[in-house]
Amino acid sequence: MNQDSFDEFRSLVYAKSGITLGQGKEALVSSRVGKRMRQLGLGDFRSYLDWVKGKGGEDEMVQLLDAISTNVTSFFREPEHFDFVREKMTDWLGKKQTRFRLWSAASSTGEEPYTLAMTLRECQPGPECDIRILATDISTRVLAAAQEGIYPESKMSTLPGGYAARYFTKRRDKDSVVYAAGENLRNLILYKRLNLAFPPFPMQGPMDMILCRNVMIYFDNPVRERLLAEFHRLLRPGGYLLVGHSESLTGLSVGFKSIRPSIYRKDA
């Protein structure tokens, strides 16, 4: 991929998703786009760019963003966050709260929203509780995998003892063992495609908690500030925003107070 083609892909991806592809990503873009080009029978990057930018290219733009998006996740990734979720859920239940709304803003292949669902279930909310987890991602590919909710045995290693048996059904799939998420998790989660770069979003809130972890590192500050302003709008007063451990809101004009590393509260 020559520099001109890379720059054009960079501009296109930024305009459509807010994702910033820095210098040095040429090989990554070339590899991922090249795979999609082979599927379409296209021989050069110029032809593919013309396809995406031409009439009727909107569907292919979704495929391009699917190819470019990085999706690295696991159950109970950054476990301190789920300790915090458990702590707050226990506190809310003690105060007789019965309506709970949480949002996994970049749900990838589903490990994060399913971890949220397990964490909330472990707090033993009563039948009067109305719990909903919204799970969104820009990638249709990973959303389909999340909705299917079937994981290889190797993915179960990060679950606490007994969780796999309580929340998943173990079965054989050809020559391997897989685990399928149970209805006790599925019935808490709603999956939707959403592009975080273009608020305002259609949901109304108010949310009790938003997890947007290891996503904003791909955005520049203008995109981050727009997104954080929308999170602020959607969170209830006193609601919480959790970001990745490698991320910080320092220097951004946002109405959140840091209460722990990577955990922020919308002031009442």
Active-site residues, by number, are: 32, 137
Cis preceding linkage at 113, omega within 30: no
Q: How many angstroms separate the CA atoms of 110 and 74, rounded?
A: 9
Closest among 209, 207, 217 to 245, alpha carbons compared? 217
Mapping DSSP onto H, E and C, the string for 205-250 reads CCEEEEEECCCHHHCCHHHHHHHHHHHHHHEEEEEEEEECCCCCCC
For residue 184, the one-letter residue type is: N
Contact 13, 65 (CB under 8 A): yes
Closest among 57, 54, 52, 6 to 27, alpha carbons compared? 6
DSSP 153: G
- Tokens encoding 140: 């249709």
Contact 234, 266 (CB under 8 A): no
Sign of CA dihedral 34, 214, 156, 65: negative
